[in-house]
Structure 1
Amino acid sequence: MAEKNYWGRVAEARVSRRSLMRGAGIGAAGLAGAALIGCGSKKESTPAATPKAAAPVAVTAAPSAKQPKKGGTFRLGFTGTVAGIDPHNSVFGGSGGVPQVYNYLFRREVLRGDLGLKYDLAKSHQVEKDGVTWTFKLRTDAKIAPNDKGVPERMLDSEDVVQSFKRMADKPTSANAYAFFAAWVDKFDAPDKETVRLVTKKPYAWVEENIGDNLKGAIVPKEWLAKPAADLKQWAVGAGPFMLKSIQEGEGIRMVRNPSFYDKERPYLDAYDILNFKDVTTQRTALSSGQIDSYITADPQEAKDLEKATKGLKLVETGSTGYNSFWMRTDVALWKDARVRRAMNMSMNRDEYIQIIGKGLGKHAGPVVPVFGDYALSDAELKKMQPFDAAEAKKLFEAAGVKEVTFTHPTSSTMPDYVNIMVKQLAAIGVTAKPQPLDAAAWVAQYFGSALTASYSLNQSYKTPDSALLWYRTGGVTGSNNYDTKFYTPEIDALIDKAGSTIPEAERKTAYLEAQRAILKSDPAFINVFNTGSNTLYYDKVQNFDAGAGAMSAHMTRNYWIDA
């Protein structure tokens, strides 16, 4: 009853939709997976070392010089659906809670090399000279949080890691890490309670990034893993810095400090809330009224206006790995026709999207987005390989006998803006577009199950170039045929695998460029629109907030504290 009263108070406090401003708050998929990478700002900037990719200058908040104090609640917001809190296959709102409740061996943000590698359940690791044998030494004081789910409050050990790896490697689980395990992992075991060993089939450049990925690498108590999958989706029991207190569709997630967490000084926060908003406007207004503590938008003018109008707000301008895409299922006759897929790509005036949605800030997006530096195709090459050519697109549609196209889209975030532009651009070449809006929950379920025939796909964000290319590899982005376009070729599979197994970085970058060129020449069934920028607003009472930490931010929340 206490939690019901809590959510009731939250609901009563929420503001109504009244602002006329348009903008893009962080969507559900961005909570754990978003990698907002610093690009420089006149407000705060610190040089970043980026050993794996040519990232821009990082933007971070300087560590607080004040003495941290415990207490207070940090509150984020999102639009869309919670869609459960399964530790291994969540990608929407619930994914924001997973890395707070569970442990990971460690965390790593490829575009923030200056942050280093942050150990969590592991205390050290090494790869042998063979390049395929990875050994992880575990800490012995990671105690499972108090719970009423029958999970013993004991210390995590290597068997929990092995059982978590087994679930990640199980295709029916549809784990986000399945593609990594299926393609690259040969075997894993636990020589003793404090040691885990993982052997890859051949050297792979992104082992650490997959193991440390918020969406992939959660280590779960073996007793909890033994429960039905429905239980894992509805609740969470782990040994992380926070423990789940409440999760409710349409309301959000509430987490409180884990009194058994191995770091006795952290987290400083009493609670961490992730609040579910119906739309971006309501979320934005909640920021202005102080009901949430941080907000992200792709619209730089909106961010500046909010900062100017709201006392205590700070703005950090960042780059992002984020982008939106158009997805087509090629076992449907319309999208099986390469002419139609090519016409869709050629009808897309990306500069118009950038001007209208990005307010002039953004870049054309290929299979790998520009923030990855030399791993991405240049803007000039992208414009040649996926040109805007309305006349040629019209000819291709006419040759294929296509006068109208129907596609689905979620109603959350700024997706209606993308839809309106597509409808307009297709109409200009004589094709009638018939968009079919779906509420976020229905869209998520149908998209996950590959039940849609074509759809805008929102809030893509990947930690590595390799992860982004999984959309074009057999099995799709999860490896288990979820979100499946059903369009893959052995040649492209081989090029993606070649790139991932190339260890010298200069050669690896060349291999990824080669793979992307082959993808674009194949008339892919997953086409990207543009790479967005990002603007993070947060209240200055939140200390140790790092707006440019990317996926590492989920690890760093244990350092947040509220200077009330």
Structure 2
Amino acid sequence: MRRHDAERSRVSALRRTLVPAVLVAALALSACTSTVEQSSSAPAGDGTPQAGGTLRTSVVDPGGDLDPVLTASPGGTGVVDSVTEKLAIINDKFEASPVLATEWSATPDNLNWTFKIREGVKFNDGSTLVPADVVATYNRIIGPGSTSPAKGSFAGLLDTVQAQGESVVFSLKKPFADFPVLVAGNNTQILPASYEVGSWKNSYIGTGPFTVKAFKPGQGVTLEKNPSYWNSDKIYLQTVEYKFFKDQQARVLALQSGEVDGLYGEPISSNLTSALDESKLNVTSDPTTGFSAFAFRVDTAPFDDVKVRQAVAWALDRDAISEKLYDGQSIEGNDTVYSSIYPVTPTGLEQRNANADKVKELLADRKIKFTITTSSTEEGHALLIQQQLRKFDNFDVDVQILSSAEYFADGDNAPWLSAPATISYWGSRPVPSQFNDNLYRTGALWNASHYSNPTLDALFDQYDATSGKDERAKIVDQIAEIQWTDVPVVISAFPNTRRYLSKKLHMPYTPGNIDYTNVWIEH
């Protein structure tokens, strides 16, 4: 794999040097008997932070009501993360960093993990956070009938969760050396033991830095600083205004007009941001492990034929995808989840790119007709793929664009999980298991391709049970070969996270999270 046009990337030389190293540290963090102390970071940006002020930001309208247990859309997740908290968060070093847990440790076999719960934390209704709330949160995720997207990360792994004094003990069914990163995943926000799924609109309960002052469906959310927040000294903003827009183009126009103070949190193709005057903004570009998954329903024609899936993969011009969607600021993908910034990556695979001979060899004169379904967030990606495939006589491709609310609707029948061909963005994860367990594992809730391979499932378990780099490298080669050969998901690129910020906004970079700690705005 290679980085496209590295000279054009706005990544500093320091970050390019540090990213692979910190990912190694992230794995070391989860070693058998690790204990992590709370870390603090210096205020971001130049000058002295100013308390107060209003940050105006934007997301694609998540539609309807939000719920920490169920919300799957990128925009909705950002709002929820501003009001609620998890046991840990992924920091700028790609490490699991303490939040509602202050430290953790594991037994030598990585089967039992103990998390000490932070004392003195209050929910925004005045009640005190206790270990029983953590236990109830995870039982809610993995319980019978749960439709939480987080269930896929813990089903088959988490056996029991029990309070033990001021701590919570997670007992696993199988060893998992990177378990702390799972508790930093989406939909793992800690809620009261009495919480009922679907009721968040009645209370907007959470322990986070902000409370909901006003929620107007279709328009936006206004958040106010939580006066009882346990880490309030690190929260400088007084107000955060989330404005809802119908698509990414509208978000760009809002920044261009000065209606909002930044674009961050959701991926935006470079063909939309090219009109921005970057001299008036602080623009950052950071390599990540996130990607847009072009998933095929392998149990539905025409994608029940592996030759069709392989032909689509060989028809795509990945260089053009990187240039046109990401301005060349991406790492080339090869239909596996392994970004080259992971410490262990596959070897020996032929790099796919547009190859007419391969397509002809696989399909001969067959005509393959299908529709790509996606949300407005990935509209540019879908249209570009449609354009590329139509260059071949073998493909007749339509595109269906849905609102974020429609595409990421709750339940198993949501379009992003049920349509024959979909494109969905997966935010950066510090360990590949978070992609493998949700996107490829048999029966996983987010397995949009409905793919099943017992051999692959067993390899995932082997990888999770070990932390040795050499042993993991052998397993990764086997995993990647199956993903590449069966190709239930096409992964063309790992785009950098690009943020377009007003020069008055000072915001540290955190991969895959919305974190307003040490964020401030000049006013």
TM-score (norm 1): 0.79
- 1:416-466, CA deviations, whole angstroms, 9 ceiling, x for partnerless residues? 343244344334234222223333322223545733122233455434211
Confirm whether residue 140 of structure 1 aligns to residue 119 of structure 2. yes
How far residue 124 of structure 1 moved from its aligned partner, in angstroms, is 2.4
Partner of 1:8: none
SS at match of 1:221: coil
Structure 1 CA distance for aligned equivalents of residues 275 and 298 of structure 2: 44
Question: Once structures 1 and 2 are overlaid, which stretch shifts more, 294-303 or 203-212?
Answer: 294-303
Partner of 2:79: 97
SS at match of 1:508: helix
2:276 aligned residue (289, 292, 306): 306
Structure 2 CA distance for aligned equivalents of residues 360 and 195 of structure 1: 46
- Residue pair 1:448, 1:483 contacting (<8 A) in 2 also: no
Partner of 2:176: 204
Partner of 1:396: 362
Number of residue equivalences: 493
How far residue 398 of structure 1 moved from its aligned partner, in angstroms, is 4.0
Confirm whether residue 550 of structure 1 aligns to residue 511 of structure 2. yes
Partner of 1:28: none
Structure 2 CA distance for aligned equivalents of residues 462 and 249 of structure 1: 30
| Equivalent runs, 1:304-343 vs 2, <5 Å | 306-310=276-280, 313-343=281-311
Structure 2 CA distance for aligned equivalents of residues 176 and 395 of structure 1: 39
Distance 1:246 1:372, change over 3 A: farther
Structure 2 CA distance for aligned equivalents of residues 436 and 275 of structure 1: 25
Partner of 1:520: 484
Partner of 2:345: 376
Which letter maps to 1:122? A
Confirm whether residue 453 of structure 1 aligns to residue 420 of structure 2. yes
- 1:498-554, CA deviations, whole angstroms, 9 ceiling, x for partnerless residues? 111112233224322321112222x232221222223322123223x113x213x53
Distance 1:82 1:550, change over 3 A: farther
Structure 1 CA distance for aligned equivalents of residues 434 and 100 of structure 2: 24
Which letter maps to 1:388? A
- 1:158-181, CA deviations, whole angstroms, 9 ceiling, x for partnerless residues? 100000010121252222331232
Distance 1:103 1:358, change over 3 A: closer
How far residue 262 of structure 1 moved from its aligned partner, in angstroms, is 1.7
Structure 1 CA distance for aligned equivalents of residues 418 and 376 of structure 2: 19
Structure 2 CA distance for aligned equivalents of residues 127 and 54 of structure 1: 17
- Residue pair 2:369, 2:395 contacting (<8 A) in 1 also: yes
- 1:96-125, CA deviations, whole angstroms, 9 ceiling, x for partnerless residues? 12222122222234x715xx6532222222
Structure 2 CA distance for aligned equivalents of residues 238 and 455 of structure 1: 33
Partner of 1:179: 152
Distance 1:498 1:301, change over 3 A: same
Distance 1:530 1:382, change over 3 A: farther
- Residue pair 2:311, 2:358 contacting (<8 A) in 1 also: yes
Distance 1:430 1:338, change over 3 A: closer
Confirm whether residue 220 of structure 1 aligns to residue 184 of structure 2. no
Distance 1:315 1:52, change over 3 A: closer
Structure 1 CA distance for aligned equivalents of residues 65 and 488 of structure 2: 28
Confirm whether residue 167 of structure 1 aligns to residue 148 of structure 2. no
Partner of 1:531: 494
Partner of 1:499: 463
How far residue 300 of structure 1 moved from its aligned partner, in angstroms, is 6.4
- Residue pair 1:307, 1:537 contacting (<8 A) in 2 also: no
SS at match of 2:331: strand
Structure 2 CA distance for aligned equivalents of residues 159 and 61 of structure 1: 33
Structure 2 CA distance for aligned equivalents of residues 541 and 261 of structure 1: 25
Task: Quote the sequence identity (%).
Answer: 23
Confirm whether residue 72 of structure 1 aligns to residue 33 of structure 2. no
| Equivalent runs, 1:427-446 vs 2, <5 Å | 427-445=391-409
Confirm whether residue 408 of structure 1 aligns to residue 363 of structure 2. no
Q: Which runs of 5+ in 2 are unaligned?
A: 1-8, 27-40
Q: Which runs of 5+ in 1 are unaligned?
A: 1-37, 147-152
Partner of 1:31: none
Which letter maps to 1:375? V
How far residue 494 of structure 1 moved from its aligned partner, in angstroms, is 0.7
- Residue pair 2:53, 2:521 contacting (<8 A) in 1 also: yes
How far residue 257 of structure 1 moved from its aligned partner, in angstroms, is 1.0
Distance 1:44 1:108, change over 3 A: closer
